[in-house]
Amino acid sequence: MPMINLRPPAKINLYLKVLRKRPDGYHDIETVFERIDLCDELSLKAIPEDIVVKCDDPQAPCDKRNLIYKAAQMLKDRYPAAGGVEMTLKKNIPVAAGLGGASSDCAYALRGLNELWNLKLNKSHLLEIGSSIGADVAFFLLDCGRAIGRGKGEILEPCGDGQEKSVFWYLLVNPGFPVLAKDAYNDLNLGLTSAPSDSRINPVRLKGIKFEDLGSLLSNSLEVPVERKSKAISEMKSAIKEAGLRFSIMSGSGPTVYGVASGKEEALEAKSRLLLGDGWKAFVARTLW
């Protein structure tokens, strides 16, 4: 049977501002997504029928709750001639960590199933399907290392077109416990407001942004409410700074915190100096264009 092997990457948010709560329960945001080279491993194998999901991480469900299962089911519902698939997922990206692992797995499952089942769907069709499954899925369907996200995160403006593309190195620290995105957003207690964005982001600036410019960009509306519930956020940020990195911030809805290094050597040196708390895991990663 044919098999396809994929490496869905993680993301971090260089900037995340929650603008307002929407009538549909979601939130309008303005964010800067950055793809990094911390990747899961996903293999798709054609089988005669059914959808089978296998995963090495017990925190990730192997039934219809998993977004890769939802992706396969949605394609089968729309295209009944599609066969079956066995999807095997090795999780290197922590689950519910603010790194977009589930969304990336979903996006790459859609890409792979489109090829495995020879559906010949164009990118706009895949984007429409992916956005209906999860707000961050669309970013991982773009061939872009950095993008501005608006709306729920699905309205995207790529920040690289073959010209200068800045690359950063990161030290990521995960405390070993999950944070559900819906809980982080709910703790903001936003009303149905229409407050305008004081946008300081644009694709021209972000395409070749320099390390020294990051201090004025890094921001996350969700950091304070998550930190209020978990002192681990401030502890990880302090540990990263004590390890020698100047900038540190929480990614997405957390709880992963990352520090930005001036290069690979500084990131690796900071990791070697990092004092890990109980259950913490550290990763070094770079921008993935």
pLDDT in the model for residue 68: 98
Crossing angle for the helix pair 123-133 and 67-78, to the nearest 10 degrees: 130
Least Cα distance to 201 among 33, 74, 23 occurs for 33
Active-site residue numbers? 11, 136
* Residue positions counted in the chain: 289
Cβ neighbours for 100, distance < 8 A, ≥ 6 positions apart? 10, 11, 33, 93, 136, 139, 140, 252
pLDDT in the model for residue 194: 47
Domain edges within the chain: 3-158, 169-286
Q: Which residues of the chain have pLDDT under 70?
A: 1, 160-163, 189-200, 204
pLDDT in the model for residue 21: 87
Q: Which CATH number describes the domain made up of 3-158?
A: 3.30.230.10
Q: First and final CA of the chain: distance in angstroms?
A: 32
* β-pair type (146-150, 155-158): antiparallel
pLDDT in the model for residue 202: 72
pTM of the model: 0.94
Least Cα distance to 84 among 124, 44, 122 occurs for 44
Q: Fold identical between 3-158 and 169-286?
A: no
Superfamily of domain 169-286: GHMP kinase, C-terminal domain (3.30.70.890)
Amino acid symbol at 252: G
pLDDT digits (tens, 9 = 90+) for 124-168: 999 999 999 998 999 999 988 999 999 999 999 998 665 578 899
pLDDT in the model for residue 26: 83
